[in-house]
């Protein structure tokens, strides 16, 4: 892509920060030894790994021994769900999740359903948010796992995870897993609060770190089974030589994301509002899926009777990169499960577009985007 590309698909993935890339290079050059080796070089890279782990633990307000480096959000989600479900069958058999989760959660619970677990899905309203009342009625004594995303990847809805945690812990012994892939670095999320998630998934490449790196973190030590067998790395849970450079890069990206969070959040909110105002100006040609209560960095909307792909291509011609509702499902032709769950008008189901902000987006980008959006809509819909 050319230099002046406006990249607004940061919820699909982000461009790594320069500082993160520099750290990654430096670690690969100087501290490439296996952290499990007993020679001095190994000791050094192990020290570095420990520091990276401690930093992530500090950010999440837990202890270093509860932080596991993984290959990304999908691995974190998969293993959280399989691990917490299969290791707790003595407590019960019931699993709760929502109908708008990421596929890495939905497919995992489907698998568990086939293994005999009793899985129930919470519905969402037109804003994409679950009902705490429904949660209260569905949590049972034998519920062992509740998995809920913090911010929806397709339209930015924020789930009330702290209120949910209270309900879950009051009426069950269930572990509460929160997929924070889209929220970490954008909204406050940690184990700081008295009640909250027991387990959090984070992905490196959504916070200007690298693809292939993620974290699974726990509030406290949990009953768990190893899922990658071998040399016993990562506290025996996930064997395989630990990727120190990835861990360091993720740790740095996480620190920078949290440090700049408030500043960015303000900008994102302002851009989101501006674009929404413009969209509302188009009248009933446009339907906005996101809500002002949702996360500011994601804005989803749909154009009546148009296919998302068409809009994407039209914007792309003008150097603006956006995506259909999610990058994972954008190549499939069927309507996404999230869009289905929101129960929107048939005319708007095919044309969902998601724009998502990141650290590299500038005010000028947004001004340009609004212009381009106007041109494209004019071109595709004629007069509106």
Q: Cite the active site residues.
A: 328
- Rounded to the nearest whole angstrom, what is the least distance from the CB of residue 249 to another protein in the complex? 9
Q: Which is nearer to another protein, 51 or 211 (CB)?
A: 51
Identify the burial level of 151 via C-beta atoms within 10 angstroms of its C-beta, where 0-12 means exposed, 13-18 middle and 19 or more buried. Answer: buried
Q: Which is nearer to another protein, 177 or 252 (CB)?
A: 252
- Rounded to the nearest whole angstrom, what is the least distance from the CB of residue 52 to another protein in the complex? 6
Strands 118-122 and 175-179: unpaired
Instruction: Quote the tokens at residue 16.
Output: 């790594």
Q: b/e string for 31-43 if b means 16 or more Cβ within 10 A?
A: bebbbeeeeeeee
Alpha helices in 116-243 (DSSP H): 132-138, 161-171
- Rounded to the nearest whole angstrom, what is the least distance from the CB of residue 25 to another protein in the complex? 10
Smallest CA-to-CA distance from 97 within 158, 133, 145, 161 is with: 145
Q: Which is nearer to another protein, 194 or 346 (CB)?
A: 194
The residues binding another protein (CB under 8 A) are 23, 26-27, 38-40, 43, 47-48, 51-52, 55, 65, 194, 248, 251-252, 255
- Rounded to the nearest whole angstrom, what is the least distance from the CB of residue 232 to another protein in the complex? 11
- Rounded to the nearest whole angstrom, what is the least distance from the CB of residue 101 to another protein in the complex? 31
Q: Which is nearer to another protein, 56 or 129 (CB)?
A: 56
User: How many other CB atoms sit within 10 Å of the CB of residue 1?
Assistant: 9
Q: Can you tell me the distance from the alpha carbon of 122 to that of 100, in angstroms, rounded to the nearest whole number?
A: 9
102: which DSSP letter?
-
Q: Can you tell me the distance from the alpha carbon of 369 to that of 285, in angstroms, rounded to the nearest whole number?
A: 18
């Amino acid at each position: 892509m050319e230099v002046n590309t406006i990249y607004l698909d940061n919820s699909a993935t982000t461009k790594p920060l320069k500082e993160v890339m520099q750290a990654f290079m430096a670690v690969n050059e100087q501290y490439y030894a296996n952290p499990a080796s007993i020679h001095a070089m190994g000791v050094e890279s192990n020290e570095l790994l420990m520091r990276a782990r401690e930093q992530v633990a500090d950010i999440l307000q837990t202890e270093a021994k509860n932080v596991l480096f993984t290959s990304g959000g999908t691995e974190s989600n998969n293993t959280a769900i399989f691990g917490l479900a299969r290791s707790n069958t003595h407590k019960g058999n019931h699993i709760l999740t929502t109908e708008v989760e990421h596929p890495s959660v939905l497919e995992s619970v489907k698998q568990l359903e086939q293994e005999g677990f009793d899985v129930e899905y919470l519905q969402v309203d037109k804003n994409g948010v679950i009902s705490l009342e429904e949660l209260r009625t569905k949590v049972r004594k034998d519920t062992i796992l509740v998995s809920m995303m913090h911010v929806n990847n397709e339209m930015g809805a924020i789930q009330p995870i702290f209120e949910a945690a209270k309900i879950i812990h009051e009426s069950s012994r269930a572990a509460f897993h929160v997929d924070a892939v889209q929220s970490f670095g954008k909204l406050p999320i940690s184990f700081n609060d008295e009640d909250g998630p027991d387990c959090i998934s984070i992905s490196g490449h959504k916070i200007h770190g690298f693809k292939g790196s993620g974290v699974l973190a726990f509030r406290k030590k949990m009953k768990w089974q190893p899922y990658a067998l071998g040399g016993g790395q990562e506290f025996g849970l996930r064997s395989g030589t630990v990727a120190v450079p990835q861990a360091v890069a993720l740790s740095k990206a996480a620190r920078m994301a949290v440090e700049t969070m408030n500043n960015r959040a303000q900008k994102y909110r302002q851009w989101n509002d501006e674009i929404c105002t413009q969209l509302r100006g188009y009248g009933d040609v446009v339907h906005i899926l996101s809500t002002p209560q949702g996360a500011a960095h994601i804005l989803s909307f749909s154009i009546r009777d148009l296919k998302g792909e068409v809009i994407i291509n039209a914007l792309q011609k003008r150097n603006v990169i956006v995506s259909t509702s999610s990058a994972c499902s954008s190549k499939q032709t069927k309507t996404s499960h999230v869009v289905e769950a929101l129960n929107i008008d048939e005319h708007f189901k095919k044309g969902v577009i998601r724009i998502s902000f990141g650290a590299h987006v500038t005010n000028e980008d947004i001004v340009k985007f609004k212009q381009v959006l106007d041109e494209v809509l004019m071109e595709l819909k004629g007069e509106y």
